[in-house]
Amino acid sequence: KLMYKDKCGTGYENSTRAIFQGAGEYDIPIIKPTKITENKFIGFNEILSSKQSDCGVHFFLDDYQFQRLWNTPDRYIEKLQNFNCVLSPDFSLYADYPKALQIYNHYRKHWIGAYLQLYGIEVIPTICWSDEKSFEWCFDGEPIGGTVAVSSVGTQKNKIAKELFLKGYKEMIERLQPETIIFYGRVPEECIGNIINIKSFQEKFRRSK
């Protein structure tokens, strides 16, 4: 349910573009489920220069490379409509970020996802978490079933980081029951599910050396 929309407004934090039906304590915009799958992706930072469009678009990049999508989303709608699917942008949820900032980034991810769906774009929700405290809200707005995406990049560097990743992954499986998981980066052997593994840029780079 779209509660309010005024495309002409530039507005504060996109609030005059759209306010979507929300989930949970923080009214996180709801992303509708999709069953579309994809095994070829390019980064959002490539969409304006790439001639390839028979693929999906991912946001497993540094946040500054897609902050512009939040700042001026209408600029990219027509371009993103050319691709098979678009992952929701995973604005960073680092455990040492203040809780308010983590929730804000979760909200922004979902607002963008819902906004792209408004324009007929197939959106695969990217599931993100930080520590166990984030489980209270980090799954709000995510669809049950269907296809989801996750990334293990940067989460396997030490024992604590890996344990947090695996706890969040298990929580995701239990709460969201995804049919398919698009997995960007190395898949730990503990991870279960119908996984489509996408090699990260770092893995491709190591293999080419």
10 lies in a domain?
A: no
Reply yes or no on whether the pLDDT at 134 is more than 90. yes
51 lies in a domain?
A: yes
94 lies in a domain?
A: yes
Name the residue among 173, 191, 171 with its Cα closest to residue 183: 191
Higher per-residue confidence, 203 vs 129: 129
Reply yes or no on whether the pLDDT at 202 is more than 90. no
105 lies in a domain?
A: yes
Neighbours of 174 (CB within 10 A): 9
What rounded mean pLDDT belongs to the chain? 90
6 lies in a domain?
A: no
Q: Which domain holds residue 43?
A: 33-208
For 13-46, the pLDDT digits (tens) are 898 889 998 999 999 999 999 999 999 999 999 9
- How many domains does the structure of the chain reveal? 1
18 lies in a domain?
A: no
CATH number at residue 52: 3.20.20
Quote the pLDDT of residue 45: 96
Q: Residue 126 gets which letter from DSSP?
A: B
2 lies in a domain?
A: no
Least confident span in 2-6, 89-93, 125-129? 2-6
Provide the sign of the torsion angle of the four alpha carbons 22, 124, 154, 195, taken in this order. Answer: positive
Quote the pLDDT of residue 156: 79
9 lies in a domain?
A: no
Strand partners, 198: 184
Q: Are 121 and 80 in contact (CB under 8 A)?
A: yes
